[in-house]
A and B are shown apart, each in its own frame.
Chain A
Amino acid sequence: DAGVTQSPTHLIKTRGQQVTLRCSPKSGHDTVSWYQQALGQGPQFIFQYYEEEERQRGNFPDRFSGHQFPNYSSELNVNALLLGDSALYLCASSTRTGSPYEQYFGPGTRLTVT
């Protein structure tokens, strides 16, 4: 049973560029949440997707956007990258039929903005 997968593992971008990160949820899960984790801190909630719609959003600017596909996989897009966007981006999946708060995380994508 495949767990949550994310790609790419690492990414280096320049200020002002745009980036797309990808996530495939755990088998049987229909909800995907994205988090940003700065070095030495706990993850910060970005947004959550269910039924291909954004359901919840944290305190992140509109430069952060996302999408969920019919197969439940998801993308996180960040436009006009800033140095402060450098972080580990985590994807977590869950299911509404079980406990939606028990989230299973992928290994993350390490984004470095130079």
Chain B
Amino acid sequence: TQLLEQSPQFLSIQEGENLTVYCNSSSVFSSLQWYRQEPGEGPVLLVTVVTGGEVKKLKRLTFQFGDARKDSSLHITAAQPGDTGLYLCAGPYFGNEKLTFGTGTRLTIIP
């Protein structure tokens, strides 16, 4: 069974703090996407990483793809209330085009 595990499952921190969310699997990804979902809405694509070891930055968000393409992390610097939401990693495994989603990290930033 292919499984994408995210940690932590829940995270509540004060505004201005830094945080890291992890996405791990025992299988290899051909690419990996990170999405953010707000209540009552569909997931919104944040970034796609393709190359092992790749690092991408989106303002205060830094995404890293593991060298072996089995894991990824999302680091947020100086978190703001607008960062609140459900963060989902997702990826297609090699040889399979369907997108498998992680278990999600629900992030709450306290003003």
Instruction: Spell out A's residues near B (CB within 8 Å).
Output: 4, 33, 35, 40-45, 48, 55-56, 58, 90, 92, 99-108, 110
Q: Which of B35, B91, B97, B103 contacts A100 (CB 8 A)?
A: B97
Other-chain residue from A4, A41, A48, A100 in contact with B42 (beta carbon distance below 8 A): A4
Chain B contact residue count (CB 8 A cutoff): 26
- Given A105-B44, A107-B41, A107-B42; A58-B98 close (CB under 8 Å): yes
Known: A4-B42, A40-B106. 7 other contacts (CB 8 A): A40-B104, A43-B43, A45-B100, A55-B97, A90-B42, A107-B41, A110-B40
Q: Is there contact, CB below 8 Å, between A108 and B42?
A: yes
> Is there an interface contact between A103 and B48, defined as CB atoms closer than 8 Å?
no
In the complex, are the beta carbons of B104 and A33 less than 8 A apart?
Answer: no
User: In the assembled complex, which residues on chain A have CB atoms less than 8 Å from the CB atom of B11?
Assistant: none
Cross-interface CB contact of A101 among B42, B48, B103, cutoff 8 Å: B48
- A40 CB to nearest chain B CB (Å): 8
Q: A90-B42, A105-B42, A107-B40 are in contact. Are A42 and B103 (CB under 8 A)?
A: yes
User: B92 at the A/B interface (Cβ < 8 Å)?
Assistant: yes
B101 interface residue per 8 A CB criterion: yes
Taking a contact as CB atoms closer than 8 A, the residue among A33, A43, A99 that contacts B48 in the complex is A99
Q: Determine whether the beta carbon of B101 is less than 8 Å from that of A43.
A: yes
B45 interface contact, C-beta 8 A: yes
Complex Cα distance, B48 from A90, in Å, reads 20
A45 to B16, CA, bound (A): 36
